Structure formats: structure tokens, C-alpha cells
Copies of this chain bind each other. A is one copy, B any other.
């Protein structure tokens, strides 16, 4: 039998999705599974987007341009302009979700063995994409006890070697909710320019900043035009993850022309998703006011609920819609499987993402989980109740010596 590749062997299972078979079994056994593992909001997709799909007035579902429909790219450019980001449609390549934008950006900018600095914990699939591109991730660890606050930004400089070619940030951060200050970004800019690096920013949660915080895009850092590459997506903004429509954005024409070659090879991004995405640009501002208010309530409900459980620590995130929590268990990995396989409370159980996969450093995050607060409040309340009961019943429970600080990090 022919062997699979080394890359295939080394490829990590997604911590967000690898427990799906256990969830499927739990559902088959009649349990309600509350999905906190994945950022799949139950928020309604804007009506304008759904209507555009229902009014589809074409006979052939054709390919689009490899970079995406020009009308959509022009619409996206207007969206950025409205957000005070000066971008033209030629700076935009429409992709199969934000995922493909990251892959294209990595393949365009980095060679195998190149090092890229990234604060950890980070969006777990960066590990997979880096492996696909042969890139080595060099993490800057942030800690739950500090609410995952970044260390002084100069720390990035310390990790730079002759092989360093880039820095990746997610802002606001998945899974920590961390929001970079303008000062931090200005310092990052200095480091990037001095060392001739690329700076990638995953800004798909741009709209979701809380407690009066404001998002600052790396596209607004002057003098970074040739270095800045932004990853974006309609998935979270308009609660249409299944559209699979993202974007890679850069003013570096060389980068965009190269990425277009990768895009040409796969022909085009999805036509129907683009129709929905273009229509969604007309979503009224009130939609976001409502959605942000709802996420804020969900965040407080989940985070406060978790912190009320003995031994659980959950810092309050400042953006996006995830929370990281430390649980009083031997292994979050085993606990997350156990709760699906062997536990239920009021007929329900909870699916969570074990956090080890969100780190590049082996051994970190072993007692942490990522939870998405994307479900209605009644479900979040039930999830907290389930978790509380599960932590009493779980055989691998441990006593944490003291509750770690939950001070605010950003």
C-alpha cells in the first residue's frame, strides 16, 4: 500500500472540528449538543444577502473572474473607504473564505523553512496552513494569567533571526479577543520595516470590538504599503460562514499579481457566495448595532457564568466572539471528549475546542479550552449549567492551587 505524505501525516487535526465524530455519536444517542467549539453564529444572515440568492436571475452558474467579480471588488473597496481604509478594487483578491487568503498570502510571501512570528494562542488553523506552506511558526507566548495581554511589543524583535520573513497577527484576536492598540501597531511597523518583513493581519472580526474599543487596521499604517497584507472574510461580519467568501488585500502590486497566479490555478471563488457577499454590503448599520449588543450580552453571560464555576478561570475578551478558559481538569483534550461521550445534564452536553491546538509551543494550553459565544443566551446558560455539573462528575478533575487573575489585558 502506498504511504501518505509526511505533510499529510504531520498535518494537525483541527481542534475545532476533530471531535465532530464524538458529537455526531452524542446526537445519534439523543443528546442535545451545544456547539461552543466553533465560531458558527446563530445570528441571522442579513436579509439583503438571502434575498439576493432567492432572486437569482441567471440561467448558468458561471465562473467569475479569478480575483472575484469586479463589481463585488468595487463594492468591497467602498466598504473599506467607509471604514476609512483607502483601498481600490485592484488591491483586492476575492478568495474561498479567509482560509484561502491566508494560504495564498503564505505561498506568495514565504519560502519553505522561512520563520514567521505569531503571538500564541492563535487561530488554530494557522498551524495547518503553515504546515501546508512549509513555514515555521515562531510563537510569542501570552498567558491566561495576564488575560493574554501581549508582552511589550519589542518582544517581537527578540525572535527575529536570519530566516524571519514575516509576522502574523489576528486583530481582534481569535481565540483571545485581544485588540492591538495603535501604539503597538506603530511599533510593529518599525520592526517590520527595519527587517524588511511582511506583516499579515487577520482582521475578519473588525466590527466586533467591545467596551468602547476601536479597531485600527494595519492598512492605515503609513509607509507599510509594501509590507501589509490583510485577510478578510464575510463569514463572521454577516454571519454567512458557509458562503466561503473572503479576501486578500494588499497595496503591494507584486504580491497581488503573484497571488492572482495561485487564484487562476483554482479558477474562481464561489459565484453564489459572491452574489450574497455583494448584496450584504448593503446591510444597514443597525444590523451591526444589534449584533454587537447581542454579542456583548452573550460574552458577559458566558464569561461571568464560567468564572462562577469553582476552579474555572475565564478572562473577559475585548473583541471577536471567543473566550479562553482554564478548567480544573487533568487534560482539556480528554475532558472535551469525555463530556461528549460519557456525560449529559438535562439531556444536553457541550462541545468545546481543546486549546492545545491553538499554540505552537508543545505542552501549552493543556487545561484550556476555547468557547465561542455565538449561540442564543438560553443555550449559553444551559451550557454553563452542563459544564458545572460535568466538572463535578468528571473523574479527571484536579484542584487548582489558586484561582488565577482575570484582570483585563487590553
Contacts and interface: CB of A to CB of B under 8 A. Distances in A.
Contact of A53 (B17, B134, B259, B272): B272
Contacts of A45: 59-61
A43 interface: yes
Contacts of A141: none
Contact of A108 (B4, B107, B271): B4
A235 to B, nearest CB: 8
Given A270-B270, A276-B272, A129 B96 contact: no
Nearest to A127: B265
A277 B56 CA distance: 16
A56 B388 CA distance: 39
Given A7-B111, A38-B63, A62-B40, A271 B254 contact: no
Contacts of A230: none
Interface in A41-88: 41-45, 49-50, 53-56, 59-66
Given A64-B242, A108-B4, A271-B243, A11 B54 contact: no
B255 A99 contact: no
Count this chain's copies in the assembly.
2
Contact of A49 (B61, B97, B125): B61
A266 B261 CA distance: 20
A218 interface: no
A7 to B, nearest CB: 6
A60 B43 contact: yes
A397 B5 CA distance: 48
A7 B112 CA distance: 9
A62 B261 contact: no
A12 B261 contact: yes
A13 interface: yes
Interface string A1-27: 110111111011110111010000000
Nearest to A65: B20
A272 to B, nearest CB: 4
